[in-house]
């Protein structure tokens, strides 16, 4: 029974990600997700009691996928530091088009705990990177620059040209060693 629930949850999250990519997270409807996942609306609500919880599940799923991709990149490139892997993976992620983040404000308004998994992930990631470097100053510069780049990307407020993006990433990779 537990595996079935997990499978339903994964199907729902995959369907929600597809619907969000097609129509934007702000216009994500529970009915559309249930239909795409092939589950009843009751089944969807069993796994995600509110739209905000579904959105939180999508964010948690993204963070898990990012962490797995980071681990894979570190394992593949043994010469690359964890910080350099984080910089490059984040830069690659920021290259992908993102829908407007306005949905995030409504999710936060509905459920202030929406940001909890994001905060926990970033705290854990920073702690890990901090434990792997002797140069806290360089880590702070790199981490905050990448988080700033991510924020500009998320809120569609990027002011950097492509050339400036490339310069930023190469500078950060140089700082990271």
- Condensed to tens digits (0 to 9), the pLDDT of residues 51-87 reads 888 888 888 888 899 999 999 998 887 778 899 999 9
The residue extents of the domains of the chain are 1-49, 51-176
How much is the pLDDT for 139?
97
How many helices and strands, by DSSP H and E, does the chain display?
9, 0
* pLDDT for 2 beyond 70: no
The whole-angstrom separation of Cα 175 and Cα 76 is: 21
Q: Using CA atoms in the order 121, 126, 129, 130, what is the torsion angle rounded to 10 degrees?
A: -150
CA nearest to 154, candidates 87, 99, 91: 99
pTM above 0.85, yes or no: no
What is the chain's percent helix, strand, coil content, to nearest 5? 80, 0, 20
The per-residue pLDDT of the chain, averaged, comes to 86
Name the more confident of 112 and 50: 50
The CATH T-level fold of domain 1-49 is Arc Repressor Mutant, subunit A (1.10.10)
């Amino acid at each position: 029974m537990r595996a079935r629930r997990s499978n339903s949850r994964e199907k729902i999250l995959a369907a929600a990600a597809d619907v969000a990519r097609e129509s934007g997270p702000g216009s994500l409807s529970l009915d559309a997700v249930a239909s795409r996942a092939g589950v009843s609306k009751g089944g969807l609500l069993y796994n995600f009691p509110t739209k905000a919880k579904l959105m939180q599940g999508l964010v948690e799923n993204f963070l898990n996928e990012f962490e797995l991709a980071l681990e894979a990149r570190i394992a593949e490139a043994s010469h690359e530091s964890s910080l350099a892997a984080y910089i490059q993976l984040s830069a690659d992620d920021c290259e992908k088009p993102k829908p407007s983040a306005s949905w995030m404000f409504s999710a936060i308004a509905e459920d202030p705990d929406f940001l909890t998994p994001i905060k926990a992930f970033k705290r854990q990631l920073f702690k890990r990177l901090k434990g792997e470097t002797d140069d806290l100053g360089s880590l702070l510069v790199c981490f905050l620059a990448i988080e700033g780049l991510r924020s500009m990307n998320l809120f569609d407020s990027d002011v950097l040209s492509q050339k400036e993006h490339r310069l930023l990433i190469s500078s950060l990779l140089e700082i990271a060693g």
